[in-house]
Amino acid sequence: MLHSRKLQYIDEIARSGSIRKAAAKLNVASSAINRQILALEEELGVPIFERLPRGLRLTAAGELCIEHVRDVLKSYDRLETRVRSLKTPQAGRVSMVSTVGLAAGPLPEIVARFVERHPRICIQLGIDGATTTINPVMSGEADLGVGFNIPATPGLRTLATFDIPIGVVLPPDHPLAAELGPIDLKKVVQEPLVLAQSGMSLRTMIDLILAPLAVSVEPVVETGAPETLRHLVKRGTGLTFLNPLDVVADCRRGELVFRPLADPYRRHQPMKLFARARATLDTATSLFVEFLLTELEELVAELEEKGHVPPQRMTSDVRS
């Protein structure tokens, strides 16, 4: 091993908040871990953990330390992957965190096709909220993040951006589904609605869309699960607002209909694929990024032809 075991100790304590829990996870005596941490603190001249009644918490120096620790551990993981790939071509691991909607929409099919082509590459797919998707990438726990309305953040670099609007999702037998082109929002709010729950970035966008109307909109159901919204629309419980990627598979099967909103109520969400600014993508991750972008470009092109999304001017750091 090309790094000290104490780096793993620090990382695990930071995650679990306890020497005892870290020792149990690493199968090491608590006293051995404590000695290593005390020795490091003496070497640095500052405490890296604040001792609390119920565990440990990183100090300001500890926050700097854990960033370095995870950089080193991540670099070692990449080295192991590259060494293994000398014996087993295209072996590796890719970790990505996604928002709930994408994980319930097109991502599983894309990941499945990638694994079919590259069975020696393991994909770790985590699910988080829109803004908190940033955290695992910033900390180095995830190689990639993908989601909507991701703010520009120091320390992150955007690999690609797509412009995806929110629209109305209806059952195919609904009278409004027969209308061609964008739908008038005033007609939609006269129907029962099932909406993303408050606090979700999708609901924030929906509230912005509904704000100019002079009527109060009370949904019959609110939920944090996009798949539940799709199921309720199929059952005829109400209409909902989603983006076309969320329902592309359902629309292909004829189970749902997506319609963009007519101006002036149309609003767009930037969908962003991003990574740490200073991190170098290893071979497996680069391979997955190229595959993911190709799949997303094809999906968006299909939606462009249907008039569900505007003509794209996709930006990409990967291919530039």
Q: Give the pLDDT confidence of 199-258 residue by residue, as tens digits.
A: 888 888 899 999 888 788 899 999 988 889 999 999 999 999 999 998 988 988 999 999
Pick one of 3.40.50.620, 3.10.129.10, 3.30.70.2860, 1.10.10.10 as the CATH number of 5-71: 1.10.10.10
For residue range 15-38, list pLDDT tens digits in order: 888 888 888 888 888 888 888 888
Q: Residue 30 and residue 273: Cα distance in Å, rounded? A: 40
Look at residues 21, 70, 71, 65 and name the one whose alpha carbon lies nearest to residue 43: 65
Would you mind telling me the total number of residues written for the chain in this entry? 320
Question: What one-character DSSP code corresponds to residue 151?
Answer: P
Task: List CB contacts of 170: < 8 A, sequence separation 6 or more.
Answer: 176, 177, 233, 239, 256, 257, 258, 259
Look at residues 303, 179, 301 and name the one whose alpha carbon lies nearest to residue 251: 303
Domain span(s) for CATH 3.40.190.10 in the chain: 88-164+269-316, 167-266
Edge-to-edge strand order for the sheet containing 240-242? 240-242, 167-170, 257-260
CATH number of 167-266: 3.40.190.10
Domain span(s) for CATH 1.10.10.10 in the chain: 5-71
Kindly state the tokens that stand for 169. Answer: 């999702």
DSSP strands (E only) in the chain: 49-52, 55-58, 92-99, 121-128, 144-148, 156-165, 167-170, 194-196, 221-223, 240-242, 257-260, 268-276, 315-316
Q: Considering only the top CATH level, what class is 88-164+269-316?
A: alpha beta
pTM above 0.75, yes or no: no
